Amino acid sequence: MIQFLITYPKEKIEPALRARLNQVTTPIYCPLRQLRAIALTEYDRWLIRQADSFLITSQFALTVYLKNLRRLNATAGLLVLSQKMATRLKAAGMTNVTVSLAENQRSLVSILQASTNRIVALSGNLKAGSRSLPKSVQRVKVYENTWNEAAQESARQLLVAKQINRILVTSPSSYRRLKKIEFQLPTNFVAPTYYTLGAQTAQLIRRDHRPVKEPDQATNVLAQMILKMCWDEAGIVRS
Q: What is the pLDDT along the chain (239 residues), one digit of tens a residue?
A: 899 999 999 999 999 999 999 999 999 999 999 999 999 999 999 999 999 999 999 999 999 999 999 999 999 999 999 999 999 999 999 999 999 888 877 777 778 888 889 999 999 998 655 566 888 899 999 999 999 999 999 999 999 999 999 999 999 999 999 999 999 999 999 999 999 999 999 999 999 999 999 999 988 999 999 999 999 999 987 75
- Shared domain for 156 and 195, answered yes or no, is yes
Assess if residue 132 is contained within a domain: yes
Tally the domains of the chain: 2
Q: Which of 136, 5, 119, 9 is nearest to 57 (CA)?
A: 119
CA atoms within 13 A on the CB side of 235: 0
- Residue 173's domain comprises 2-33+148-234
Which amino acid, 189? F
Does one domain contain both 126 and 175? no
Asked if residue 66 and residue 131 are part of one domain, the reply reads yes
The answer to whether residues 212 and 206 touch, using CB atoms and an 8 Å cutoff, is: yes
For 100, phi then psi, to 5°, come to -60, 150
Q: What is the CATH number of the domain that holds 23?
A: 3.40.50.10090
101 & 124 share domain: yes
Based on the fold, state whether residues 137 and 45 are members of the same structural domain.
Answer: yes
Residue 215 and residue 205 in one domain: yes
Is residue 239, in this structure, part of any structural domain at all? Answer: no
Q: How many CA atoms, within 13 angstroms, populate the side-chain half-sphere of residue 140?
A: 30
Q: What is the 3-state secondary structure (H, E, C) of 214-237?
A: CCCCCCCHHHHHHHHHHHHHHCCC
- In this structure, are 110 and 64 located in the same domain? yes
Q: Are strands 34-37 and 138-146 parallel, antiparallel or unpaired?
A: antiparallel
Whether residues 152 and 108 share a domain: the answer is no
